Chain A
């Protein structure tokens, strides 16, 4: 099979997923969530994964993060097998997942505290992150006082603050309204252009995937397999203007068609 997956040589691969399958054992019987998933992600590229609900996207993401040892196959990062969570990988969850007892400032700081960064440097980096994520006026606010979009900005800042090489995102904007969602996509583009990371992002939105990604992977219904792999050759820097351009629309159409037939 001549697929884009095989085009890439292993040397260029930063994140490698080899033959990963996963089956959950439950009281009502086993559920196979992933079946022989294989793909490669180039360093500092942005890859989006789309697929129907319940097809195994979150399972795959947890396997990439080292939070879930897959029942078969292997994930590796920079040629090292990922068998447990690592600080080189930052994660953003569907809900902002902030600590309600910490202010925005201290939520941002958490990864630095755990990594034992000295107080002085912690303060500098937290302040820089507040500015980067547009949260300057909200340092002392508690999560209960934030809108959904602002909470997700904090989550983004928290995932970036200890400067991980890989950023994994599980439908980070899934809980937001359409307008806030677009704004957050634009924010993410801006931040990513300044802090290049290898990004792997799960999303339900095809246009969001095309807007953000260098490459979009499509997963089949459960058990999840990668059934389509599309390069997005749109020039960067990108912005929301792109949403109306013919090249963009034809790419989203192509993806939509492939999801329907998969």
Chain B
């Protein structure tokens, strides 16, 4: 091979590393998936009922969108996710804060919190629906319960990772508990807390759908349940994809928040 060819090869490799990896690889994987999917349908491996073509799914998706059904149910699920995530994360943060601060609170609550985490949420969901009714309220609670644990664990870890010397500094400056929280504990724990938020954000969509499956009257989970009931596989797939997009959107928002709040982490590591 000539030298020039080698040079060209290097340039291609660098180009792949810089541009492809960052911008194109994920879409390429997605498009390949669609192509394989379409090919499998074309080859009639499965009946149309089991596996409709990407085109059929897209068509059904557009129908659902055009008659307003998709947006109406997305709105319901979004509402549940928003409040479920909000309450879950807030209560988990406050609980985690006090568990990290006080040994008494920690030994009092830990066994119950672990027990709570050990119970499969799908199993308790019917109970919650009996208690809180079949409407959105119970689904918000199911969602909140699901996002609670990762957020709690990360808050405790984040709080415990605060350097004791910085605590001494704040003590020597006679900072009150509120100032200590605002100037030290919150910013120091934030990287780990936001890590928890990212996990919770994706779990929140699962939480809402679990509730909607157990008591299907509204929401994207309901749209999946009726799609299955009517042997409308395109509707099921279209709704699942919508849910995925929703989860990705939430994760993206959490990542954006991380990027905005933790800009200092990018300092001093030379852009790696």
| B-contact bits for A47-82, CB 8 A (1 contact / 0 none) | 000000000000000100111000000000000000
Nearest residue, chain A, Cβ from B176: A114
Distance in angstroms between the alpha carbons of A99 and B190 in the assembled complex: 13
Note all chain A residues with C-beta closer than 8 A to B168.
Answer: 62, 65, 67, 91, 93
Q: What secondary structure prevails in chain A residues at the interface with B?
A: loop
Most buried by B among A67, A99, A141: A99
Note all chain A residues with C-beta closer than 8 A to B188.
Answer: 99, 101
Closest Cβ–Cβ distance, residue B223 to chain A (whole Å)? 43
Which of B171, B172, B179, B268 meets A145, CB within 8 Å?
B268
Q: What secondary structure prevails in chain B residues at the interface with A?
A: helix
8 A Cβ contacts from A84-103 to B? 85-87, 89-91, 93, 95, 97, 99-102
Distance in angstroms between the alpha carbons of A62 and B171 in the assembled complex: 11
B173 near A100 with CB under 8 A, answer no
B172 near A114 with CB under 8 A, answer no
Distance in angstroms between the alpha carbons of A116 and B190 in the assembled complex: 24
Which of A62, A114, A142 meets B173, CB within 8 Å?
A114
| A-contact bits for B243-272, CB 8 A (1 contact / 0 none) | 000000000000000000010110111000
Closest Cβ–Cβ distance, residue A9 to chain B (whole Å)? 29
Closest Cβ–Cβ distance, residue A196 to chain B (whole Å)? 21
8 A Cβ contacts from A25-41 to B? none
Known contacts A97-B165, A114-B183; decide if A89 and B172 are in contact (CB<8 Å): yes
Closest Cβ–Cβ distance, residue B192 to chain A (whole Å)? 13
Distance in angstroms between the alpha carbons of A65 and B184 in the assembled complex: 20
Note all chain A residues with C-beta closer than 8 A to B26.
Answer: none
Which of B172, B175, B190, B269 meets A65, CB within 8 Å?
B172
Q: Is B187 interfacial (CB 8 A cutoff)?
A: yes
Known contacts A91-B168, A97-B165, A99-B187; decide if A114 and B175 are in contact (CB<8 Å): yes
B179 near A144 with CB under 8 A, answer no
Note all chain B residues with C-beta closer than 8 A to A188.
Answer: none
4 cross-chain pairs, A with B, having the tightest CB-CB distances, nearest first: A144-B268, A142-B267, A145-B268, A85-B172
Residues of B within 8 A of A (CB): 163, 165-166, 168-175, 179, 183-184, 187-188, 190, 262, 264-265, 267-269
Residues of A within 8 A of B (CB): 62, 65-67, 85-87, 89-91, 93, 95, 97, 99-102, 110-111, 113-115, 141-145, 162
27 contacts between A and B (CB under 8 A): A62-B168, A65-B168, A67-B168, A67-B172, A85-B173, A85-B174, A86-B174, A89-B172, A91-B169, A93-B165, A97-B163, A97-B165, A97-B166, A97-B169, A99-B166, A99-B184, A99-B188, A100-B265, A101-B187, A110-B173, A113-B183, A114-B175, A114-B179, A114-B183, A143-B268, A144-B267, A145-B267
